[in-house]
């Protein structure tokens, strides 16, 4: 799975597994450093494409993903399992 680093004040990176429809998002801390990873389940690919091409990733996420899909904060074991960290 490929991790894409985004130009956003709130979101550091994203990755998508089309087989499981899992969208992985890493947020930023207040000072801009990478923060926690979350996985959002059953997010359709068409919505992920719109998210990646949105003018504002943060606004699109807040409006179309945050409160619409089940989220889980990932611990270190799951981050490694999904290959989200180098």
**For the whole model, what pTM was predicted?**
0.93
The pLDDT tens digits of the residues spanning 71-83 come to 999 999 999 999 9
Alpha carbons 54 and 60: distance in angstroms, whole number: 7
In this predicted structure, the answer to whether residue 66 has a pLDDT above a threshold of 60 is: yes
Residue-level pLDDT at 1: 84
In this predicted structure, the answer to whether residue 86 has a pLDDT above a threshold of 60 is: no
DSSP secondary structure of 6-73: ---SSEEEEEEETTTTEEEEEEE-TTS-EEEEEEE-S--HHHHHHHHH-S-HHHHHHHHTTTTS-EEE
The pLDDT tens digits of the residues spanning 8-59 come to 999 999 999 999 999 999 999 988 888 999 999 999 999 999 999 999 999 9
């Amino acid at each position: 799975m490929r991790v894409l680093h985004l130009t956003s004040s709130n979101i550091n990176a994203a990755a998508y597994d089309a087989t499981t429809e899992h969208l992985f998002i890493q947020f930023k801390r207040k000072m801009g450093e990478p923060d926690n990873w979350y996985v959002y389940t059953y997010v359709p690919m068409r919505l992920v494409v719109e998210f990646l091409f949105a003018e504002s990733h943060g606004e699109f996420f807040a409006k179309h993903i945050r409160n619409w899909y089940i989220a889980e904060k990932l611990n270190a074991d799951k981050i490694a399992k999904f290959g989200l960290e180098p």
